Structure 1
Amino acid sequence: MNKRWTFLFVVAVVVTLSIVTILNRPTEKDFKKWLQEEYMIDCNEDCSIIEVESVSGDITERIKFTDASGTYSPGIFTLRINRQYKSLDDPLQIKQIDVIGFNGRFYPLHNNDEF
C-alpha cells in the first residue's frame, strides 16, 4: 500500500508541474514585451517589422528592419522563435534573433549578436 501512495504522489507532482509549465508558456505578446525590455526594440503586432535605435557618436537614428526569414515553433512547453531581419535602408545589414521561451521567460540561444 505504501508503494501505491508514493507512486500516486509522484504522478500527481509530475502532472501538476506539467500543467503549470503549459499554462506559463510564453506567447507572441510576451515575445514583443521581452524584445522591448531586453533590447529596447519596438515591433509591430506580429514583430515582422522591428525598429532599433542606433547610436554613433552624437547621432541617434532609428533603423527599421523587416522580417526576411525565420521560424516560429510553438510547442506544448516551449515557444521557439528564430528570425532574421534585413534593414530597409541597407539590405546587407542583417540582424538575427534566436530565442526559446520556457515557463514565462525567454532565453537567447546565440549570444554572439549585438542585438
Structure 2
Amino acid sequence: MKKKRYILFVMAGILLVVVTGIFMSKPNEKNFVQWFEKEFDVNCLDTDFDCSSLEIGGKTYNHTDGYYDSSTGFLAMAMQIKRLYRNANDPDEFFSIEAKGFLGDFKKIEFIQNKVDIR
C-alpha cells in the first residue's frame, strides 16, 4: 500500500513538472515577432516587440486589424494570431497573416497578399 502511494506521488510530481515546463514555454507576441521577421524577411520598426509598423522593400506597413487569442490548444498552451497590415501611403496595398504557435514555435495557417510581394 505504501509503495503504491509513493509511486502515485512521484507520478503526480513528474506530471506537474512537465505541465509547468510546457506552460513556461508557451509562445507570446515577442516570439511571434521574432518568427515573423525571420520567416518573411520583414523589418519591424517599433521597439516594443509587437510589430505594429514594419518595412518591406522600403515601404512602410501598419498593423490595422487582427486578433490575438492566447487560449488556443490543449490546456490553453498555444496561441493563434491574425494580423492585417496596410501600406501607409496606399491602403489598397495590404497583406494578412494568420499563424498558430505552440511550445515557442509557429506555423503559418494562412497568408494573403494584395499588391505586396513578400516571400
Shorter-chain TM-score range: 0.7 to 0.9
Percent of aligned pairs sharing the same letter: 24
Aligned to 1:23: 24
Deviation at 1:74, TM superposition (A): 2.2
Write out aligned runs for 1:1-115 (5 A). Answer: 1=1, 7-8=8-9, 10-43=11-44, 44=46, 45=48, 46-53=50-57, 62-75=58-71, 76-110=76-110, 114=118
Q: Normalized against structure 1, the TM-score is what?
A: 0.74
Q: Distance in 2 between matches of 1:8 and 1:107?
A: 37
Q: Which runs of 4+ in 1 moved over 3 A?
A: 1-14, 111-115
Q: Distance in 2 between matches of 1:112 and 1:4?
A: 55
Q: In the alignment, is the contact (CA less than 8 A) between 1:35 and 1:42 conserved in 2?
A: no
Which runs of no fewer than 5 residues in structure 2 stay unpaired?
none
Which runs of no fewer than 5 residues in structure 1 stay unpaired?
54-61
Number of residue pairs the alignment of both structures matches? 107
- Give per-residue Cα distances to partners, 1:50-79, cap 9 Å, x unaligned: 1112xxxxxxxx121111110012234122
Letter in 1 for 2:108: P
Q: Normalized against structure 2, the TM-score is what?
A: 0.72
